[in-house]
Structure 1
């Protein structure tokens, strides 16, 4: 087992439930779960007292495990505990990271990526959770934040050493706030005053982790099951899947509560055929990505009956987590969920993130109409959000808002030929072409005289149209909505 960073003395005592040894490696740990009988014990001086029994862990097939070690900001840490929570959208895990004899942090999932957080002392008391509504802005310690989620959660299981222990099964609020500097502030209302943790996004590859769970030793039992609709075999391939579709009958199956119990499902008809097949592997931006999910979405501007559609491919890389490849009428783009939340002008016309300003392109209502594959959030046909799309040249930002969550994604536009080549579909590259390429390619072949002639013709047409409009009524509609949006699904949980 890995040694904790820093010089300290481990404490070991017999479990009051079964007599097996229970060891405390971190001086900050007040509780532990016996690995043999699941007794929850509290350290009282030189003895252990049993205060209950912990439920079995929900196996999330994470590459992380107890005693995995790494470095963050040059400081070594070791994972000594794990807390598993449930909320209406599913479950998530927080790993307790012991940095030294005085501090513990949290390594937790965030939209398929990871966030490393440390305890944060607030200069003012946190308001009641009910006062922090999703989308509202506030400030703590001089930093502005946007409320990104407000959920009622419960602790369902734990493992290893724990600095704190919420009451098992007792609901409490967890509010997440995000800044335009890429930070996430989590307020846990299981204590008074609420506990606060401040974190930022990290990549597993940058943490230099050792002692990770060996993929080859995973127990694959229980990861395959019979479709609750048609009985065909369904296999779960991703560690964090909360939804999957049956490849035989296209039913959407809810995995948010595990696959050992009764599985909820919803049938789908009118299947949409993806241009890039599920399971395909492609190299984009120097990273190998596998297509694990696909969804078709429809949008409409508020007050407008006209609809438009686009496709989203969910991409997965073991070290980078998840990204989205978006196929819209005006071109391809690749984006990933942000850890922070851009600051948006009150009018909604501009947004700022990591020092860069973006202009709003479209604002529209979105609905998921068809899904296939696996998803790390609980996806459903008919899910609705309100979206805003922003751009700064080729750089993109997209916001999605639902009742309990506000999510952002950022990325950039991509050339259609690059996408086709990435997935070795050059023979079908004409099928990848979108409207984005036409103006640029046409302009590049024009001479100066041609451009001047085009400008003169446009001016004449504008004068004619202006004369016509002065003599009668006219109606116009914005061209927005062709860009589409991203389902960044799920929050810090």
Structure 2
């Protein structure tokens, strides 16, 4: 546990049950008794009971109270301990904020949302913050002279809390939360849950970099799957992920909306023309040094504005307990692994390029995209027919950057290309290498060592073949990954309700 020799802990009996309630931070004004769930407020050395806090929902987080770690801040390596937990519900899902008590006596926030983490600290501005309504999603604003993009402006409410808390907005009462992102990956979160807006600034972090100790023992966690009968065919449907908002029936392929929760009214949409994923649902593959499980699959179609040629691609939703969610994208010219960006890339006024974390990406295509088929589980209420406007960018290397826009939100994702051999080895599908083969990241002449004359002949032959295929191809992009056009991969379904959850 992170400790500070100069910090005096305060302990007093709970007014509700008499159990000890401890305050480690002088900044904490509230606490939730771990025995009777009483919400208590501290005034000097007197504790007053305000009522009873709602039970926490099980978000299957590896974090827990009293877990400790280290964070690099302002050139210092500071120990911290998690002393409180706040669970919120917003327009597009739920997220958790952990109260971190640092060795220097200050507090910070470790935000957790669908396996993504952001570490933020209180931040002050040179002038008074405007009302939440002044922040329009997609617009640019300046905070202390630094430009930020407005990534989200949502209504949220506190649904539960635990431990020691420096703030406690009224339970269930909606308030505004605004998120700003910079091109260098910085996040500013403005919380309008109190009389004065609270501003915090930080960046994305990975749990393994925080040197955390005292995490939940994964082997000791009891998996409690939810089960119900499909509203379309009556077959049993098992929900494995706690934050699932959409799932498909394994018997009739119907798409079922769980956004209102199991036990509420379920809506099912029958899906025809099922698409068979090359990588089976439930498979586990090793990418970036960690295991990823395939939990969802979707087929999407796109068309460029003013064009009538449709193209298709596929996305596999991957899940890792500490890394959260990522997308393995299967497009006609290659595979890629992408995830949402923490910051907001700087888009050129011409729209032909974007800069993110110092790297310039050039526009490769822009198009309207639509989801046409889904299978498995998803952490957002996905629907057939969901539409976005997409822009894809690529760097001089393997880097990829994508923007998805809906009337509600503009979201970005980034990643890199993968060789098909890497995908085959990761998921132990060497027997399907031919089916997985795509135009890999290396140029053909570099990969094969062929001479320029040979390449020229091959290019001529390819042009002739493409003309013939364009005139007589029977490929249906609605159910197949087929296109003779340039690189088009959505970069992950982040946008509107497809968002990976930007609220920390």
Distance 1:434 1:96, change over 3 A: same
State TM-score, norm by structure 1.
0.88
The alignment status of 1:41 with 2:40, answered yes or no, reads yes
> Any conservation in 2 of the 1:223–1:236 contact (CA below 8 Å)?
yes
What is the aligned partner in structure 2 of residue 463 from structure 1?
none
> Any conservation in 1 of the 2:11–2:20 contact (CA below 8 Å)?
yes
Distance 1:302 1:112, change over 3 A: farther
What is the aligned partner in structure 2 of residue 417 from structure 1?
421
Q: Secondary structure at the match of 2:26?
A: coil
Deviations 1:57-116 (A, max 9, x none): 121121111111111112111111111111221211111111136311111124532111
Shift of 1:446: 4.0
Q: Secondary structure at the match of 2:188?
A: strand
What is the aligned partner in structure 1 of residue 434 from structure 2?
430
Deviations 1:109-161 (A, max 9, x none): 24532111111112222222122111111111232211111111111111111
Deviations 1:30-82 (A, max 9, x none): 01112233222110111111223322212112111111111111211111111
What is the aligned partner in structure 1 of residue 493 from structure 2?
487
Distance 1:229 1:66, change over 3 A: farther
> Any conservation in 2 of the 1:111–1:492 contact (CA below 8 Å)?
no
> Any conservation in 2 of the 1:312–1:486 contact (CA below 8 Å)?
yes
Q: Secondary structure at the match of 2:431?
A: helix
Q: 1:377 aligns with which of 380, 385, 388?
A: 380
Query: Where do 1:153-168 residues align within 5 Å?
Result: 153-168=156-171
Deviations 1:162-203 (A, max 9, x none): 101112111111111111111111111123431111121111
Equivalents in 2 of 1:312, 1:170: separation in Å? Answer: 37
Shift of 1:20: 3.0
Deviations 1:226-271 (A, max 9, x none): 4444443333333543333232232333444544655454443322
Q: Secondary structure at the match of 1:420?
A: helix
Equivalents in 1 of 2:213, 2:460: separation in Å? Answer: 66
> Any conservation in 1 of the 2:418–2:441 contact (CA below 8 Å)?
no
Distance 1:456 1:8, change over 3 A: closer
What is the aligned partner in structure 2 of residue 21 from structure 1?
20
Equivalents in 2 of 1:97, 1:254: separation in Å? Answer: 35
Q: Secondary structure at the match of 2:25?
A: coil
Equivalents in 2 of 1:324, 1:164: separation in Å? Answer: 35
> Any conservation in 2 of the 1:5–1:77 contact (CA below 8 Å)?
no
Distance 1:420 1:8, change over 3 A: same
Distance 1:3 1:480, change over 3 A: closer
Query: Where do 1:249-268 residues align within 5 Å?
Result: 249-259=252-262, 261-268=264-271
Distance 1:263 1:40, change over 3 A: farther
Q: Give unmatched runs, 5+ long, in structure 2.
A: 463-483
Distance 1:331 1:179, change over 3 A: same
The alignment status of 1:202 with 2:212, answered yes or no, reads no
Deviations 1:295-317 (A, max 9, x none): 11111222333321110011222
Q: Secondary structure at the match of 1:159?
A: strand
The alignment status of 1:131 with 2:137, answered yes or no, reads no
What is the aligned partner in structure 2 of residue 273 from structure 1?
276
Q: Secondary structure at the match of 1:216?
A: helix
What is the aligned partner in structure 2 of residue 308 from structure 1?
311
The alignment status of 1:403 with 2:402, answered yes or no, reads no
Equivalents in 2 of 1:3, 1:16: separation in Å? Answer: 28
> Any conservation in 2 of the 1:333–1:414 contact (CA below 8 Å)?
yes
Shift of 1:320: 2.5
Distance 1:196 1:455, change over 3 A: same
Q: Give unmatched runs, 5+ long, in structure 1.
A: 459-477
Distance 1:235 1:208, change over 3 A: farther
Distance 1:319 1:239, change over 3 A: same
Q: Secondary structure at the match of 1:149?
A: strand
Query: Where do 1:271-350 residues align within 5 Å?
Result: 271-350=274-353
Of 74-83 and 52-61, the range deviating more from structure 2: 52-61
Distance 1:263 1:211, change over 3 A: farther
Distance 1:6 1:265, change over 3 A: farther
What is the aligned partner in structure 1 of residue 468 from structure 2?
none
What is the aligned partner in structure 2 of residue 182 from structure 1?
185
Distance 1:482 1:167, change over 3 A: same
> Any conservation in 2 of the 1:407–1:491 contact (CA below 8 Å)?
no
Q: 2:88 aligns with which of 85, 89, 92?
A: 85
What is the aligned partner in structure 2 of residue 237 from structure 1?
240
Q: Secondary structure at the match of 1:421?
A: helix
Equivalents in 2 of 1:236, 1:72: separation in Å? Answer: 35
CA RMSD of aligned residues (A): 2.7
What is the aligned partner in structure 1 of residue 29 from structure 2?
30
Shift of 1:457: 12
What is the aligned partner in structure 1 of residue 465 from structure 2?
none
> Any conservation in 2 of the 1:27–1:101 contact (CA below 8 Å)?
no
Shift of 1:409: 1.2
